[in-house]
Amino acid sequence: MLPSFVRPTPMTDRLYEYVLSIGLREPDTFRALREETAQLPECEWQIAPEQGPFLAMLVQLMGAKKCLEVGTFTGYSAAWVASVLPTDGQLVCCELSAVYAGIAQKHLTAAGLSNKVEFRIAPAAQSLADLLANGHAGTFDYAFIDADKSSYNVYYERCLELVRPGGLIAIDNTLWDGKPADPSVTDMDTLAIRALNEKIHGDDRVSLSFLPFADGLTLARKIK
Ligand SMILES: C[S@@+](CC[C@H](N)C(=O)[O-])C[C@H]1O[C@@H](n2cnc3c(N)ncnc32)[C@H](O)[C@@H]1O
């Protein structure tokens, strides 16, 4: 029998509406981005709205200037992070799809944030390798991983090289709808997330905070 600590509250639609009504202070431009994304069949790829201000607050508390995102889609997480960067701050967004990147760029421009955001439209493993090859190792304050799950370990390892000591890697979907906790689920994405969760738990290169928030958010802070 597991101890009965307070567990995440089940989210009925009514409670979730309440959560957003008290928790989300969203600029109109970000709302427009969400509304356009909601029309796409892949709309569930977007981070949960309440994750936006959370990631932004982390970035702001860190005083981060140089940030990285792996998997940008239509730009919601990117918009929140860019919105708290100083004027000389930079967010490098790695995204495979020029179509999604185009939608993101349109909304980032509308929000007055495009000057802080640089897109790398290519497979992210390649974009991260290029950054490493071009002298960016140890220079990023923050990295957010939210692209194809089967490559999460590659993204984690490359981001670990790219962030500075004390820098943060945030990894989305590490609960993956609960599937990593069910040993009978063995599809490639679940196997990749389960393996990475176990690896990070034992990884003494980082300190760890795991949040059962949205679809699971792992925070790994590079120690040295
Ligand atoms: C879950 S979505 C990202 C959601 C985004 N963070 C947001 O807030 O809306 C994952 C994104 O990763 C992109 N992606 C998938 N495979 C990729 C790859 N190999 N390299 C770069 N991006 C990839 C997809 O095109 C998609 O836009």
Nearest CA to ligand 1 atom 26: 73
Report the alpha-carbon distance of residue 197 to residue 192 in Å, rounded. Answer: 9
Q: Go through the domains of the chain in sequence order and give each one's CATH number.
A: 49-222 (3.40.50.150)
pTM over 0.90: yes
Please state the atom number of ligand 1 nearest to the C-alpha of residue 76.
8
Residue 149: the pLDDT is 98
Pocket test for ligand 1, best of 26, 44, 45 (most atoms within 8 A of CB): 45
To 10 degrees, what angle do helices 76-83 and 98-110 make?
40
SS3 assignment, position 169: strand
Q: Which residues line ligand 1 (CB under 6 A)?
A: 45-47, 71-74, 76-77, 94-97, 100, 123-124, 146-148, 151
User: Quick one: what percent of the chain has pLDDT higher than 70?
Assistant: 100
For the chain, the farthest-separated pair of C-alpha atoms sits apart, in whole angstroms, at 53
Of 11 and 109, the one with more pLDDT: 109
Please state the atom number of ligand 1 nearest to the C-alpha of residue 69.
6
Report the alpha-carbon distance of residue 170 to residue 58 in Å, rounded. Answer: 10
Give residue 5's pLDDT band: very low, low, confident or very high (50, 70, 90). Answer: confident
What are the tokens at 131?
């950054």
Distance 87 CA to ligand 1 centre (A): 26
ipTM of the complex: 0.99
